Amino acid sequence: MMTTEHKLSPVVVVMDNDTADCKQVRRWFEDSRFTTLEASNIFQAMGELADFTVADSPDVILLHVDSCDQELQMVLEMVESITDEVPVIAITRPTVKRARTYYAGTLSQAVNQIETLLPSGALN
């Protein structure tokens, strides 16, 4: 009987560069159980999502942007151009409501959502 291993899609976590707790978020992910890639820009993040030759893709892609309110729509469109299976979480307090987007105002809220998306038993 053949079995196929199913790797869960990574989660893209978008946050404002000027968020006071950027360092805290980065440290938390460094110490967490999640494998994390910190993307320096949207193109690096998209390259990681599009590269199906990588055997061990990260669980979480941290993406810093200048403004979630201004750039999140572009991030969503670029992610959806590659796949519609990658969840996007924005750590920010939104001033604009967007459909199909999960906003987390704090790291704790984002972690709760990621834990739901990537349960510990499901990760490699």
Domain layout of the chain by residue ranges? 21-122
pLDDT band, residue 31 (cuts 50/70/90): very high
Structure confidence by residue, pLDDT tens digits, 52-68? 777 788 999 999 898 88
Structure confidence by residue, pLDDT tens digits, 65-91? 988 888 888 998 999 988 888 899 988
CA gap 42, 121 in Å, rounded:
29
Q: Whose CA is closest to 99, among 76, 82, 119, 121?
A: 76
pLDDT at 5: 47
Answer yes or no: pTM beyond 0.85.
no
The answer on pLDDT for 20 being more than 70 is: no
Tokens (6 digits) for 81: 């151009």
The answer on pLDDT for 33 being more than 80 is: yes
Tokens (6 digits) for 70: 């201004």
